[in-house]
Structure 1
Amino acid sequence: MSSSPRRVLLGTLCWNFAGFGFGLVNSVLIARLLLPEARGVFAIVFTASGLLALVSAVGVNVSYRVHQPRGDVGLHHYVRLSGKLSVLMLILTLVFIFVYGAFADEQLLQPALIAASLWLGITVFLGNQLFDAFNAVGRTHSAAMLNTLGILLVLMQLLFSSGQELSVISIVIMHASAFTLRILVGLWFGVVLVRSASGKQGSVRAAEWLLLRDGLRLMGMNIGQVVTYRADQLFLGALGDSRSVGIYAVAATPASIPGVISNSIGQIVFRGAAAGQLSFRQTLTWSAVATTQTALYALVFWLVAPWAIPWLFGPEYDGAVEVARILVIAEIALVPFLILSRAAAGWKFISIAGLSGAVGVVAISIALVMLIPPFGAPGAAYASMIAYAAMSVFALIAIVVMRVRRDRTREGYQL
């Protein structure tokens, strides 16, 4: 990679680590403010917003990142289609609230919490779409900066409210308001996107259909992100209880710290592959580097978790130690998927990028149903480990097979 992409990667890493640091403090403060059961309710609302935002995008955010570097579509096509899909986000959020609230946790059916959840959901969706608009033009550091800004704004509200009694609803509102301001700042910086994201001036309908068609084929990649975005917490809430979700959410926070590195590298890899500037060997090298760093973190975290988690989050969360230890090992298995799936999408190996995520959904759904009833939160963590490994192995094997087939086809043409 050239010096410019390396600078972008460094900037992306710095902003993402800052964001994760602020997020860790937020998680500690919220855990100290709420008992495990209430913490679990917030985790369900927040997790559902992230999951539904990815589902509502129907892969269009990924499709735009594939086609924008090639000039196939323009920013205005992406914005128009994202606006239409925001309606789907609101509908899915309402459906989730009433179905999950009726069958799993009635606390979600409070009118004030429903309104706050809708506000949070739409800001998460629009924020994600905005981030990928920046990512598509290679400004991954700008996307990371905006994400960090939102997390910092939440932290400022939590610190300002210290000493007051906060509820789940008030914390959801804090996140929604912070994410709204984050979107407004992103739109203010949007002049960069207008200058960088010019595309063909053809039919709007044809461009939107291209984004939607390939987005649906790439949706498995978004589904893979759904798996990594703590879908296990929703299963745990449905098959277990809110307290278990609260314990699990606390465990997931420090365990997922190394994901900052692999996610940052994955964003750079996506752009490089889409622009034709990244080889398969370079991708494997980046994957190996990220996997090694994650393994080193996992070793240290395994040793310090028994005293670090109770000290940070409080003695009520002692049960998070075992879960966190399992999840940090699962992070090692996740790294190759986060990098290889994005590289595959950039190279237009659309079927691989889509199927690798779908493999994870099938694996985790089966594993969660089998492991949560007998083992509870640790069972959910083991299910995540199984799913992460399945996605990474599938992505690696599929890319190798696809490249071999492509090389043989080229040799056939030469003959």
Structure 2
Amino acid sequence: MGIAAGSLVALIFRFGSTFLWAVIGVLTARTLTVEDRGAYASAVVFTSAVGGITSLGAATGYFVANRKRDPAEVAGNALLLALLASAVSALCGVAVWLLVPGEIGRLALLAGLLLPPNIVRNSLNGVVLGEGRLLRFNLLANLPVAAGFVLLTLVLLVWSNRTAEAALAAWTLAQYVGLAPFVLQGRDWLTWPLHRRPRRDLIVGMLRFTAVSGLAGVVGLLNYRIDLLLVVSLDSREAAGIYASAIAGAEALWLFSSSIAMASFARVGAESREEAARITAAGVRHTGLIVTAGAAALALVAPWAVVFLFGPDYRAAALPLRILCIGTLLYAPQSLLNNYFANQLGRPGIALLLGLIALAISVGAGLILIPAYGFVGAAWATTLSYLVSGFAAIGLFIWLAPVRWSDLWRLRRDDLARYPRLARDLAIRARRVGS
């Protein structure tokens, strides 16, 4: 599967996953009390974030794609580490359950049991992405969400067990169901540790890579939410609610750039330095074209879009949404450039450095602008951080990769020809399926 078709596949799955998450949000909002939904959502968000950050997914993908290590060997060694981390998380949940009585203790137990499948799945799925099997990767990543929707529907609607514990138990069970394909089709991965000794060099390498990429993930998570936390602290909860709606709209534009980054992940890691740079530069050009069009359209309809999606009380979100469209456009190539830095160069520390720069600027500018201009100041602070870190990333890429500045923005005739060519290929495949 080519990068163009892979990007489209990833984008379709991203849209489908976003829609399914939205449906789950509506389902839990309609069936749980506000307090119970807050407890359930907090546990899910926390464990998903921790599971993603602590997993070995970035490292396993790098060692398969770039270092050309045997996928079964990488998966087997990663599984040992993932199971160890899973045991620690489960024991922490059990400890809290034993020490804290009542509902809080039981929710902590479920959260501790929810982390292991997240850690294992993300670690093993990194191998799948490193092999370039995009369709399988997306299916494995989205199966737990679909299973979660089914089980939540059964528990909350059919059986009317409408508590935070019941909802979290259903979601936890769904994550274990999502591991079934690895058991059924990845037996050589799962049995590898039983027949071979762990590879010390590989384990140490993955741990070092994950330590840096995980810290970069923490900084990235703070980057995406620090502006909202500052609005809550320096303005008001009402302002934070309005600003959160603007963030949700602007971040939707990143679906395109993240899809291209996902589709090019394996090739950027596997190809030569020159070819990986060429692929990355082409991805940046296409991202710029698509996100510019999307940002312009979203900024144009922002006043009507926020009212339609969130209601008239959120009308004030239109201005910060328009400002964030600028920042989102500037920051859109970041995932592609980080892909090159980490998966081709093996230097995830660059993404960490860029994230720290963005975080420092966002906090510094936010402390100055939010007290004076409220959530509009937060939007400008975030946009400024994206501007500086975005151009820093581009500068580093031009310095480290065999490309020129014009390679990142000047569209070629072949770039534009790819779109009708992709449409023709899809039409041919559709006719073959229909026949």
Q: Distance in 2 between matches of 1:51 and 1:169?
A: 20
From 143, 154, 157, the equivalent of 1:149 is 143
Kept after mapping to 2: 8 A contact 1:32/1:314: no
CA 355–42 in structure 1, closer or farther in 2 if over 3 Å, else same: same
Name the counterpart of 1:12.
10
- Structure 2 residue 295 is the aligned partner of structure 1 residue 298: yes
CA separation of 1:403 and 1:214: change in aligned 2, threshold 3 A: same
Distance 1:273 1:353 in 2: 16
Structure 1 position 257, deviation (Å): 2.3
* Percent of residue pairs bearing the same amino acid type: 22
Moved more, 313-322 or 329-338: 313-322
1:100 is matched with none
Matches of 1:322 and 1:370 in 2, distance apart?
A: 19
**Alignment root-mean-square deviation, CA:** 4.3
**What is the rounded CA distance, in whole Å, between the counterparts of 2:233 and 2:88 in structure 1?**
23
Does structure 1 residue 134 correspond to structure 2 residue 124? Answer: no
Once structures 1 and 2 are overlaid, which stretch shifts more, 129-138 or 373-382?
A: 373-382
Structure 1 position 182 matched with structure 2 position 178: yes
CA shift, 1:217, in A, is 4.0
Distance, in Å, in 1 between the alignment partners of 2:53 and 2:115 is: 12
| Contact 1:48 1:234 (C-alpha < 8 Å) held by counterparts | no
Return the offset for 1:82: 2.1
- The answer (yes or no) to whether the contact 2:82–2:119 under 8 Å persists in 1 is no
TM-score, structure 2 as length reference: 0.71
Structure 2 residue matching 1:110: 3-state secondary structure: helix
1:288 pairs with one of 285, 290, 298 = 285
Matched, 1:210 2:205: yes
The match for 2:400 is 402
Tell me what 1:102 maps to: none
Q: Report if the CA contact (8 A) 2:215-2:352 is conserved.
A: yes
Structure showing greater relative contact order (alpha-carbon pairs closer than 8 Å, 6 or more residues apart): 1
The 1:317–1:152 alpha-carbon spacing in structure 2 relative to 1, beyond 3 Å, is farther
CA pair 189-23 structure 1, distance change in 2 beyond 3 A = farther
Distance 1:392 1:125, change over 3 A: farther
Give structure 2 stretches of 5+ with no counterpart. 96-102, 404-435
CA contact under 8 A between 1:224 and 1:356: conserved in structure 2?
no
In the alignment, structure 1 residue 265 sits paired with structure 2 residue 260:
yes
Q: 1:89 to 1:245 in 2, by over 3 A?
A: farther
Determine the C-alpha separation between the residues in 2 that align with 1:250 and 1:5.
32
Query: Cα offset for 1:132?
Result: 1.8
Cα distance, 1:63 vs structure 2: 2.4
Counterpart residue type for residue 79 of structure 2: V
1:363-392 Cα shifts (integer Å, max 9, x gaps): 344445555566665555444433433432
**Secondary structure at 2:345 match in 1:** coil
Distance in 2 (alpha carbons) for counterparts of 1:174 and 1:11: 29
| Cα deviations by residue, 1:80-125 (Å, 9 ceiling, x for unpaired) | 1222333565699999xxxxxxxxxxxxx93344344434444443
Pair 1:332-2:326 in alignment:
no
Work out the CA distance in 2 between the residues paired with 1:94 and 1:67.
34
Distance 1:173 1:371 in 2: 43
Pair 140,27 (structure 1): closer, same or farther in 2 beyond 3 Å: same
Sort the Cα spacing of 1:111 and 1:325 in 2 relative to 1 into closer, same or farther, 3 A. farther
Cα distance, 1:305 vs structure 2: 3.8
| CA spacing shift, 1:298–1:366, aligned 2, 3 Å | same
The aligned residue for residue 423 of structure 2 is none
Matches within 5 A, 1:74-223: 74-86=74-86, 110-157=104-151, 161=156, 171-191=167-187, 204-219=199-214, 221-223=216-218
Q: Distance in 2 between matches of 1:134 and 1:309?
A: 38
Secondary structure at 2:179's aligned position in 1? helix
> How far has the Cα of 1:293 moved from its partner?
1.4
Deviates more, 1:179-188 or 1:375-384: 375-384
Q: Which runs of 5 or more residues in structure 1 are unaligned? A: 96-108, 406-415
Structure-2 change in CA distance of 1:281 and 1:4 (3 Å): closer
Give 1:243 shift: 6.3
Partner of 1:74, secondary structure, is helix
Please report how far the alpha carbon of residue 208 of structure 1 lies from its aligned counterpart in structure 2 after TM superposition: 0.7
Q: What is the Cα deviation at residue 289 of structure 1?
A: 1.1
CA distance in 1, matches of 2:231, 2:40: 14
**8 Å Cα contact 2:57-2:125 kept in structure 1:** no
Q: Larger deviation: 28-37 or 376-385?
A: 28-37
Contact 2:85 2:116 in 1 (8 A): no
Give the alignment partner of residue 341 of structure 2, picking from 337, 341, 344.
344
The structure-2 alpha-carbon separation of the partners of 1:77 and 1:4, relative to structure 1 and needing over 3 Å to count, comes to: same
CA distance in 2, matches of 1:353, 1:391: 10
Partner of 2:361: 363
Count matched residues: 388
Question: Structure 1 residues 314 and 139, CA, compared in 2 at 3 Å: closer, same or farther?
Answer: same
Distance 2:32 2:369 in 1: 27
Q: CA deviation at 1:267?
A: 1.8
Structure 1 residue 275: Cα displacement: 0.3
C-alpha separation between the residues in 2 aligned to 1:142 and 1:204? 27
What's 1:66 paired with? 62
